[in-house]
Structure 1
Amino acid sequence: MSSPHPDRWLRLDGTTNTRDLGGLPTTDGRRTLPGRVLRSDNLQTLSDDDLRRLAELPLRDVIDLRTTAEVLLEGRGPLRSVEGVTHRHLSLLPEKGRHTDVFAVEEDDLPELPADWVETLLPRQTTEADEVEPPAVRAYLGYLHHRPENVLAALRVIAGGEGAAVVHCAAGKDRTGVVVMFTLAAAGVPEEEIVADYALTAEVIEALVAKLRSSPTYAEDMTRRDVASHTPRAETMRRLLEILHERHGGPLGWLTEHGFGPDEQAALRARLRD
């Protein structure tokens, strides 16, 4: 397995965990293209210089995997005002209340939210059959059980886009990690490279947790567990991939079973490879 290239990190003022999915090897000896897909933590605090750098890519699509409560509690981020950038809200968690276009809602509308929406900020739900799995694996399987349509929708945005897309959640490691896993699998990236990319967030985990602790939205979740419990581990992604092979014949099998078949997989692969 080759080592992740350090140049894949995109050092922005307002994020801690942003990197480009370009430069990864594929099983047929090719490489994924830079400037097509970024993965990131929360984009709420991007600086003007960050916006300029993203515009140079050019950034065209933002795929936001956070819950409605997270989006509304954090408020409008600076990319919301950038012309030519389309935002897609595709939560991977089960939520109470309406499933609406959250980006059509402004901060002035917050008092209209149902009182229990905040309870769905970071729900952790999975199926009874998966209770034997480690907590992170259970959570990831929960995304696939509760919101498979949004996993597929995120991949369709990437496959059909022009310019760059950024996939993000709060930390850019769990929900983002699952969507990125399917993206790289479709591109033909070997599974150990997918695992290595997932685990790379561990290099910045202390700074990432510190950043999230500074936000009232995430402070409680960050402080009631230590940094080690937030750190992504290679064995977590390996186990998720193992389960997908056992139950579906692998990530591409899961995609096919859920309606993202060979033609769409080929379109996604074409977007990501040289």
Structure 2
Amino acid sequence: MWLELEGAVNARDVGGIPTNDGAKIAPGRLLRSDNLQDLSPADVALLVNNMALDTVVDLRSPLEVAAEGPTPLTRLDHITHVNHSLLPEIGKDVTAEALLVRRRREEERYPDDPACAHYLGYVENRPDSIVAALRAIARASGTALVHCAAGKDRTGVVVAFALTVAGARREEIIRDYAATNERLPLILERLRSTPTYSGDIDSVPEDRHRPRAETMEAFLEQVDRRYGGVEGVLGRHGFGDDELEALYRKLRD
């Protein structure tokens, strides 16, 4: 369900997604979005009063957070904010050659699809952040919201993991990921309006930003083959059976 906000263009509730056992993901448990910096007072009221939001999981890097500044939600003491970047930490003295080597290694992970290769990098480089993000969702007493800059790549991966644990049908997880296409022109326009992202947006053709269903399908298949599935990734990095159950119940009960 799309959330029509004045200050975000890719916000939606994943509630209602069909599950493997014929049920559905519960509404009002997990929201996904693009950047929250521009939320209006009406947006904040909708999220807090109507949606019972109490936890925000920010997947952006510390540099992005510093550049964009705080969101209006940080002024509310009862909202828990956690920041778990999915990008590898880059030191100030990193060389151009080192960055090129890193980029080549990323491409080698899955040459057929650069976006899938990038997502596999999240799993390999920052499984700690994926685990921490899912832990925050499971522990939220009210509604949790996960976001990054565009709400499609980093957010797409964490939400896909959460929905998998909750037993959502894989084809529906892929469909939810690709739904961002409906808002892509608005997302790119919004990102172009800020110096933080404008250069990156126009450095590649617009079609490269498009979330393709085939990308998420390939990514989840590779997670199964390489790491023993979503639960295999999480289990190896400290997300125990009790936490899997808590996340399942959070999104289903």
Give the secondary-structure state (helix, strand or coil) at the position aligned to 1:217.
Answer: helix
Residues in 2 aligned to 1:52 and 1:212: alpha-carbon distance in whole angstroms: 24
Residues in 2 aligned to 1:205 and 1:216: alpha-carbon distance in whole angstroms: 19
Aligned length: 246
When residues 150 and 36 of structure 1 are mapped into structure 2, their CA distance, relative to the original with a 3 A threshold, is: same
What's 1:192 paired with?
A: 171
Residues in 2 aligned to 1:212 and 1:193: alpha-carbon distance in whole angstroms: 27
When residues 139 and 21 of structure 1 are mapped into structure 2, their CA distance, relative to the original with a 3 A threshold, is: same
Aligned mate of 2:78, from 75, 81, 84 = 84
* 1:133 positional shift: 4.0
Deviates more, 1:22-31 or 1:63-72: 22-31
RMSD of aligned alpha carbons? 1.8
Give yes or no for the alignment of 1:140 onto 2:119: yes
User: Given residue 189 of structure 1, which amino acid in structure 2 is its aligned partner?
Assistant: A
What's 1:73 paired with?
A: 67
Identity in percent:
50
| Aligned partners of 1:126 and 1:145 also within 8 Å | no
| Aligned partners of 2:108 and 2:117 also within 8 Å | no
Residues in 1 aligned to 2:146 and 2:128: alpha-carbon distance in whole angstroms: 16
Give the secondary-structure state (helix, strand or coil) at the position aligned to 1:167.
Answer: strand
**CA offsets 1:15-36 (integer angstroms, 9 cap, x no match):** 0100001111111121111111
| Uncovered stretches (5+) of structure 1, i.e. residues with no partner | 1-7, 98-113
TM-score of the aligned structures, taking structure 1 as reference length: 0.85
Residues in 2 aligned to 1:152 and 1:228: alpha-carbon distance in whole angstroms: 31
Give the secondary-structure state (helix, strand or coil) at the position aligned to 1:225.
Answer: coil
Residues in 2 aligned to 1:149 and 1:162: alpha-carbon distance in whole angstroms: 22
What's 1:205 paired with?
A: 184
* 1:241 positional shift: 0.8
User: Given residue 8 of structure 2, which amino acid in structure 1 is its aligned partner?
Assistant: T
Give yes or no for the alignment of 1:38 onto 2:40: no
Give the secondary-structure state (helix, strand or coil) at the position aligned to 2:82.
Answer: strand
User: Given residue 37 of structure 1, which amino acid in structure 2 is its aligned partner?
Assistant: L
| Aligned partners of 2:18 and 2:168 also within 8 Å | yes
Give yes or no for the alignment of 1:234 onto 2:213: yes
What's 1:15 paired with?
A: 8
Residues in 1 aligned to 2:231 and 2:225: alpha-carbon distance in whole angstroms: 12
Residues in 2 aligned to 1:143 and 1:235: alpha-carbon distance in whole angstroms: 18
Aligned mate of 1:225, from 201, 204, 211 = 204
TM-score of the aligned structures, taking structure 2 as reference length: 0.92
Give the secondary-structure state (helix, strand or coil) at the position aligned to 2:196.
Answer: coil
